[in-house]
Structure 1
Amino acid sequence: MSNLAALRKSYEKAELSEEASHADPLAQFAQWLGEAISAQLPEPNAMTLATVDQSQRPSTRVVLIKGYGAEGITWYTNYDSRKGRELAANPCAALQFHWVELERVVRIEGRVSKVSAAESDAYFASRPLDSRIGAWASPQSQVIASRAVLVANAAHYGARFLLQPPRPPHWGGYRLQPDRWEFWQGRKSRLHDRLRYRLDEHGNWLRERLAP
């Protein structure tokens, strides 16, 4: 068995200073995401979504960012899934990007709401046909007897909708409106750089350095 306690990594690729960072966290995020994409990292758009249910039990899963801007961070999923049910009960959530090769982490917290039906329709129509059929075929997060159920469902909805499956009523977009950001840059000797942005009482972003 591997000795996990002996695993070590020295972080020495970059630094994150107040002087070199953006005053606006969205601009800082856009820079780092752009650099992750330019570096051709595997799935730079993958982010962990954390939600909490009514009994305060947390859960996480990986989803893909599909848009961002002043209005927030957007992704799409099944509204009836576990994350959908938990967001309906508690609309506060957290996102995390981990770009291992760049030794960077971005954490984002805020409230989540559904995007408009028109926006969900437009994105759904842009998806590959098999993904659109899959949105109908999978009763996400529900117990199923076997994979054969999914295959049969896909065949059923493929025959029903042919090349024009509409967006399922249980599928669409969510948008997290950030009220807190944190940018983490790995540094040598575990003296990592952590810059947190939070909204003050006037709605302005306050940038603070946190101890690693």
Structure 2
Amino acid sequence: MTDPDVHTLTGPYVLDALPSDERTRFEAHLTECTFCTTEVAELRQAAVKLATQVSTPPPPALKANVMAAIEDVRQLPPQVPVAASTPKPQRFARRSVLALAAAALAVAAAGGVAIDQYQDRSAAERANQQMAAVLAQPDARTVHGTVEGGGQATVVLSTRADKSVVVLRDLPRLPKNRIWQLWMMDPANKATSIGLSTGDITQLVNGSTTGMATFGLTVEPKGGSRTPTLPAAAVVPLA
């Protein structure tokens, strides 16, 4: 990792989402960087506070504050001076907000789903903002379900925004000619496909949320199907 990059890893480090080699290098960096050490400590405190409230929706004030700050964020590495000096507080606060949003989603998604997209930092930053936007909705709620054969399906959704975030983790490996297909089903069990996946994903779904009663996950031929193949691997009521 480059010197500027290392300072952006406080969030994934707190979430235990770094690969082992990057974690080792980052922990070595912590021994000589007061800036990152302080931020890690603050983010851990925030994550602990969020974890104690996992059974309840995030406070409306927290959501509003997160979204207000994210709107002004430019995703750039912090400017780390050569000589020891006080870091710029504004940049520190904005970067911390993004990491806090990621922690909030991890807690909401069953208290421990690791967000592994940090291996692709730019993709992770976009995903964090999108997921935080769903969490910021006043009607946001989280539902969970198990997957046949192993794994977990979590859906964070907002009917008001007509958006949802689907988190699939620890899915069984499928044959090469099969693929996972994601569905939203209305009260009459009419299914709408919302995507395909070869394995674990965290996916934002725009639309296909309002009026839906159930999230479904099925195993389909590669390329997907027009209608779900039953029995489904997971059926998660959205109410």
TM-score w.r.t. the length of structure 2 is 0.21
Greater helix fraction, Structure 1 or Structure 2:
2
Greater strand fraction, Structure 1 or Structure 2:
1
Larger RCO (CA under 8 A, 6+ residues apart): 1
